[in-house]
Structure 1
Amino acid sequence: MKQTLPISFALLIIIPAAAQTATTPDTTRIVGLNEVVVSANRIQGERKLDLPQQIDVLSARQIRLLNPATTADALLNSGWVFVQKSQLGGGSPVLRGFEANKVLLVVDGVRLNNAIYRAGHLQNILTVDANSLERTEILNGAGAVMYGSDALGGVISLYTKQPKLADSGTTGPQVLTNNLLRYATAAREKTVHTDVSLGWQRWALLTSVTATDFDDLRKGRNGMDKYPGFGEVKQYVERQNGKDVVVNNEHPNRQKFTGYRQLDVVQKVLFQPQAGQHHTLNLQLSTTSDIPRFDRLQTYRNGALRYAEWEYGPQKRLFASYQLELTRQIKFYDVLRLTPAVQDIEESRLVRDFGVNVRQENTEKVRVLSANLDLFKDLGQHELRYGAEVTHNKVRSIGEGVNILTGAVQPIVTRYPNGSTYGTVGAYAAHRWEITDHLIFSDGLRFSNVQVEAAFNRQFFDSPYNTVKQNSSSLDGNVGLVAMLPAGLRASGLVATGFRNPNVDDLSRTFEQTTGTSQTMGTLIIPNPGLKPERVVNYELELSENIENRLLLSVTGFYTNLRNALVVRPFAAPDGQTTTQYNGKTYQTVATVNTGQARIYGISSRAQLALSAHLRFDGTLTYTHGRDRTADVPLDHISPIYGRTALTYQLRRVMAEGSVLFNGRKTVAQYSPSGEDNLPQATPAGALGWYTLNLRTSYQLTSRWALQAGLENILDSNYRVFASGISAPGRNLFVTVRFER
């Protein structure tokens, strides 16, 4: 399929659809740099205009138009974030060449990253419901000063909806509600959502519930002429009459065993006893059915399907936080926010080889206790933000072999040492100085300490280590300058450092990584207690042009120097052996190690242009290059060039958008040797470039009822996103009915 980007296609569809709507003018607004963001400073809103760091904001209005099935899909379809998937129930964001545990996820001011966030690909962002979001802020680049460890590539800060107090003078409760029913054809997705806010003068309640059911995903049919049959599921395994049987797939474009179900609940209680004092209780629950690991279920060994079962067990996240916010002008602060929180996370892996009656069930349970204290003080030309954070993770790791015929259970090796702990302490101070109306200086400093401890059980795997203990500290800072130039021009520069301390997963994981290069020997990741924190120095420059309500154009160049990067490489045990026995098999040993030095650089651009009172153009483009300079090989997780262009037409009742989402090519020579980029899942030529044409429309039937419809991947293209183990959805028609009050 020829890779062209027919941008005008969207315009041809949008204008006829919108021309017959109401004639009341509704100016297409360019949000611009005056938008207020919170993620860059944790507590007090600040204009993007004043910040030297690149930040993208996905509002509730934009999420509504995108109409995504998951939060990962919202990020992907924004064009700002690259997202990898290994299964339908997946979605691993990549920021500036960093992924998984090198990107920090934050929900309502509390970090989600925990002791077992791995370096490969993560789907934890799915545990935050897109329909419950008020906004999402994507902070690109090192964010250590405000957030500590893990924010190497950036921070994705998710803000869920807030309860609304009743307007002054209102008698009785003020009721606000938002409801939707959605159906989409590619995965036969069925979603129901409701959220209700009840507000009084001092009390307010918010309840949000979303239930989603996904069937098996259908991939596209067209394209891939050079590789006919790519992505088709020829066979799958079924259990028949107590035996594993290979079945031919009658519908090879339907990716068998990809469907799953999910339930998300948010409950908030707001109490405002007096002006300037807020108390908020925030409860969140996310749980899923078993989520099949599609790429593993399509793994062949010796010409036959290897696995009868490979699923992630129910992914559960229970979150509870209390937030005290005081707004008063006293000596030490104008705003104070205290947020203690507790999280209980459970995830598991259920694996059974073909023809084997024992299923290996590895379950991980993590309890995270945390507390954040953030303060803000306005000192005229100067603003001061300071605070502290403490977290404690306790990991419970369970391994069981379950005989599916008899139900007999026996202990097996655990993925992590049971009872491992991971704790952090940090304190920060950030300062902003408005030197003149046209020149703003920013700086910040943070001290962090991280402690990790894990004790190994030698019953199943003879590790050369009894206990792993680490205690490391880091001092990080940033310096930035923003200059407002004539004619709406703006220039900014930033230098920032960051770090990521090895966690329990890095230090002590034992895991079969791949099937290996031979027919008899795979590779096994083994512990390496000698790891050091990986560190970055990030440089970025941005030049933007901003003409309010007309044009916003920005170009950002970034360069990141990465030291002691954690990568998977061949590894010898202390006795010099490069093979080991594990679960009765012989494996080549690999481990997470520190590489000497790496570099990542690239450029990203954003554009918004109001073509008329009702028509707006949006465009994004991101290019990233990364290389391990010590080993002289490409780094993993470096996405190909990607972006999005869109034309949006809006009148009083109708909004329509035509868009092109695209990725460039990634050749085999550009793949990392670590295996994290899943080269076996790509074509023989690597990841091919692709684009999709998409149309979304929304019609406001009445003040309370709205109808949305859209067609994604209109050309039904057959493609697979770089590093993904599952083909992307084919032509996808969705219909959503909304009721709001």
Structure 2
Amino acid sequence: MQFLNSMRISGCILFFFLATLNVFAQEITVLDAESGNPIANIAIFNRDKSKSTVSNLNGKADLEVFSKNERIILRHLSYDEYTTTKSQIVKKGNRVYLDLKPEELMEVVMSVSKWEQQKKDIPQKIESIDARTISFTNPQTAADVLQNSGKVFVQKSQLGGGSPMIRGFATNRLLLSVDGVRMNNAIFRGGNIQNVISVDPFTIKNTEVIFGPGSVIYGSDAIGGVMNFLTQKPRFSFTDSLTVSGNATYRFASANNESTSHLDLNLGQQHWASYTSFTYSDFGDLVMGEHGPESYLRNNFASRENGSDVLVPNSDAQKQISSGYDQINFLQKFTYRPNKVWNYDLGLYYSETSDFSRYDRLIRPNDEGDGLRSAEWFYGPQKWFMGNVQVTKQGKNKFYDGVKLTTAYQFFEESRNNRGFQEINRSTTTEKVHALSVNLDFENKKIGDLRLYYGAEYIFNKVRSEGIDTNIETSTSIPAASRYPDGATWQTFAGYINGEYKLKPNFTLLSGARYSQVWVDAQFENTFFDFPFDEADLITGAFTGSMGFSWFPRADLQITLNGSTGFRAPNIDDIGKVFDSEPGSVVVPNPELEPEYAYNAEIGVRKNIKDKLVLKGAAFYTYLVDALVRRDFEFNGETEILYNGELSNVQAIQNAAKAYVYGFELGLEAFMNENWSFASNLTVTEGTEEDSDGTDTPARHAAPTFGDVHLIWQNQKLKTDLFLNYNGEIAYEDLALSERSKAYIYAEDENGNPFAPSWYTLNVRSQYQISNALKTTVSLENLTNQRYRTYSSGIAAPGTNLILGLSYNF
């Protein structure tokens, strides 16, 4: 009997526990996905609205009226609508995270001061590309993220590349930053670079592009603009239990038979969180379009057969043989927040490509014009690693309201491998850069209507460089000339202050100043070249500043005006490089260099017409003095030297020019109703370089006129964009001299001279949200199968290209 009574009591306890659990399971909490704060007044109802409830001030709501698998909808004016079931919510710990609608976000930017600022208060033009936009455009690389924006021009010498051009500047006159850490290093060159592809587009939370000089905050190189890639942050739980979420994505593109797989995983508790991401991409040879210049076709290619190089006819001349490659990207982030004052972040980034051909060198003809100059020309694996530790403190202090210490170590590795047609020796140069950086940044917002941002920066780069020649028949190698002086160092120390003063509620003034000191040391040894100097020991300083305002004379009209200066200090690539710049020319070191300076002015206007039409425009003018350019030079009194067995014209980087770049940018957005919208962008840039002898030539990195037009339809589930991309012509007389010498990548005009033809593509892309967890993206690019090359690019763009993407959130 006692046993039976015990069983009854146990049964009652179990029943009470299960009943309590069931009741508890009916209650859910609705939270903001970004902040973790509870959201009140969320309307929750079924499809026919016969059942409903509302979340309270703590974000809690009782779902008892709904059945287990009944479809329920969560709706709020400020948040994206969310459809789910009660059983799905239970699986996720009785929590629902909602995303703010983009139009509800008070748009802030991080890149101007390294702290959050209202975008409307910034006088410089800044464009933000968020994760939703990136997901919709479904890009292959981070270079395509920029290009798809319609506001940044991107050049490609090969498929594994992408060199942005902004307001007439490119390469080492633009600055790349990842999570606030400078990516530019001591061997960033004036020629086109492809380091931007090391950033995984799947991990980008937001990309901010500053147009015009950003040297006050970022120092050397930020002359034409700054591109700051902000990657995803680990997300906390906001509850007592561990939360697990993630995403798996697959992408396919037909034009190069791309296959990309991506997986990320987030683990979060109240005080710590982890974010892990891995992406693998396999890109095949790119197929160009059908309708366009025949000179772009790949009619033959070099092949090694029976110990000899031969020209092999290409069975499909639209297929750009030897353009494919593969790439892996890994990102691991940890964050620890013991309280509301301190935050500790660790980021580990790694990217590596396979070997990839420099396609424009593979199609370069020989001097006779009946064959190819190179049998091989490829980059070795491009590797990038960064370890980044950031400590942030928020709270009241006598001198600051926020302080941020950022330390980073980066490692870069790249190599160049080339072998002439019918030659047996392959020349290889390998470069490795070790980069250390320390940034200390402060925010002070207690001084009435004045907010101050100030800090200091130290950067140290060490370059290791070696060269070897390999006999491909015997596999024996011997030392050869390196590209850079081995062991060279580049370092800088700087301090800055930036102020934001709200003179009136509708008028904000921004001003800043920075001083940078730069040290360069390179030792030259004469094993392969008889240098007329033993060492380059440069110490240079640069003062830069900016001042501008943002004014709203009316609530629907904004006017901005900004003046700023920028600089670029000579780096190891400028001072110590030995390489073949173009057929018949060789660049040699020049230790007598000074920084180049840019003076910039811009004015911007933004008009909002009844929230139905938004017009944006900006005009700019930049004057560059003491420009570092490649010009003819004498080496030991000689204008020609023997390099790689060829008598070559001697050139060097010199402070030998001035440059004038000006233009305007226009934008339009029209909202016809809740489903239909229209958007368009247009950029016009003109540039001229003036040599020391007074000779004017077109600027190399002044992009052609380019723009796009988008017609968009969307509802809660589907978004479709029908759009046109356009590039204007650059005639022969408007081509830079260095571009005219590369006639093989251009079309011929009626006089037989190289020029860049205008082109357009018609495209469509759609994204459909199948469920809260599953969405698909389908794009069809270049519908009319145009054959074209973007200006200065060595590889032709894709022909008709079907892109498929499938993404699953868990």
- What TM-score do the two structures reach when normalised by structure 2? 0.85
Unaligned runs of 5+ in 1: 1-21, 516-521
Q: CA deviation at 1:34?
A: 4.5
Spell out the pairing of 1:266-305 with structure 2 (5 A cutoff). Answer: 266-301=331-366, 302=368, 303-305=370-372
Spell out the pairing of 1:362-401 with structure 2 (5 A cutoff). Answer: 362-378=429-445, 379-401=447-469
Provide the secondary structure at the position in 1 that maps to 2:600.
strand
The corresponding residue for 1:37 is 109
Provide the secondary structure at the position in 2 that maps to 1:230.
helix
CA contact (8 A) 2:256 2:284 kept: yes
Amino acid at match of 2:463: V
Q: Are 1:356 and 2:356 an aligned pair?
A: no
Q: CA deviation at 1:549?
A: 4.8
Q: 1:510 aligns with which of 578, 581, 587?
A: 578
Q: Are 1:669 and 2:736 an aligned pair?
A: no
Q: 2:495 aligns with which of 407, 410, 427?
A: 427
Provide the secondary structure at the position in 2 that maps to 1:435.
strand
Q: Are 1:449 and 2:517 an aligned pair?
A: yes
Q: Are 1:491 and 2:559 an aligned pair?
A: yes
The corresponding residue for 1:117 is 188
CA distance in 2, matches of 1:372, 1:564: 29
Q: 1:543 aligns with which of 602, 605, 609?
A: 605
RMSD in angstroms over aligned alpha carbons? 1.8
Provide the secondary structure at the position in 2 that maps to 1:131.
helix
CA distance in 2, matches of 1:29, 1:702: 18
CA distance in 1, matches of 2:644, 2:153: 37
Change (3 A) 1:282 1:599: same
Spell out the pairing of 1:575-724 with structure 2 (5 A cutoff). Answer: 575-629=636-690, 630-675=694-739, 678-685=742-749, 686-724=755-793
Provide the secondary structure at the position in 2 that maps to 1:691.
strand
CA distance in 1, matches of 2:740, 2:521: 26
User: Which whole-Å deviations, capped at 9, do the CAs of 1:187-207 have from their partners, x for residues lacking one?
Assistant: 000000011110011111100
Amino acid at match of 1:433: Y
Q: CA deviation at 1:313?
A: 0.3
Change (3 A) 1:36 1:595: same
CA contact (8 A) 1:567 1:594 kept: yes
CA distance in 1, matches of 2:354, 2:620: 40
The corresponding residue for 2:233 is 162
Q: Are 1:346 and 2:413 an aligned pair?
A: yes
Q: CA deviation at 1:152?
A: 0.4
Q: Are 1:324 and 2:386 an aligned pair?
A: no
CA distance in 2, matches of 1:134, 1:667: 39
The corresponding residue for 1:524 is 586
Amino acid at match of 1:375: F
CA contact (8 A) 1:33 1:47 kept: no
CA contact (8 A) 1:555 1:605 kept: yes
CA distance in 2, matches of 1:130, 1:732: 19
Q: CA deviation at 1:240?
A: 2.3
Change (3 A) 1:680 1:176: same
CA distance in 2, matches of 1:143, 1:72: 20
The corresponding residue for 2:68 is none
Q: CA deviation at 1:76?
A: 0.9
Identity %: 38
Spell out the pairing of 1:165-204 with structure 2 (5 A cutoff). Answer: 165-167=236-238, 169-171=239-241, 173-204=242-273
Provide the secondary structure at the position in 1 that maps to 2:737.
coil
Change (3 A) 1:548 1:418: farther
Spell out the pairing of 1:26-105 with structure 2 (5 A cutoff). Answer: 31=103, 34-42=106-114, 44-105=115-176
CA contact (8 A) 1:679 1:723 kept: no
CA contact (8 A) 2:739 2:792 kept: no
Q: CA deviation at 1:80?
A: 0.8
User: Which whole-Å deviations, capped at 9, do the CAs of 1:211-242 have from their partners, x for residues lacking one?
Assistant: 00000000000134xxxx22111111122233
CA distance in 1, matches of 2:500, 2:449: 8
Amino acid at match of 1:331: K
CA distance in 1, matches of 2:431, 2:708: 38
Q: CA deviation at 1:595?
A: 2.6
CA contact (8 A) 2:561 2:602 kept: yes
Amino acid at match of 2:450: H
Amino acid at match of 2:452: L
CA contact (8 A) 1:371 1:390 kept: yes
CA contact (8 A) 2:732 2:740 kept: no
CA distance in 2, matches of 1:511, 1:428: 36
Q: CA deviation at 1:243?
A: 2.8
Unaligned runs of 5+ in 2: 1-72, 82-99, 750-754
The corresponding residue for 2:802 is 733
CA contact (8 A) 1:268 1:283 kept: yes
Amino acid at match of 1:366: V
CA distance in 2, matches of 1:727, 1:129: 23
CA distance in 1, matches of 2:188, 2:658: 23
Q: CA deviation at 1:547?
A: 5.2
User: Which whole-Å deviations, capped at 9, do the CAs of 1:294-353 have from their partners, x for residues lacking one?
Assistant: 111111112211211100000000110100011111111111111100001000001111
CA contact (8 A) 1:32 1:552 kept: no
Q: Which has the higher contact order (CA 8 A, sep 6+)?
A: 1
Provide the secondary structure at the position in 2 that maps to 1:274.
coil
Q: CA deviation at 1:593?
A: 1.4
Q: Are 1:462 and 2:527 an aligned pair?
A: no
The corresponding residue for 1:11 is none
Q: CA deviation at 1:532?
A: 1.4
CA distance in 2, matches of 1:136, 1:548: 29
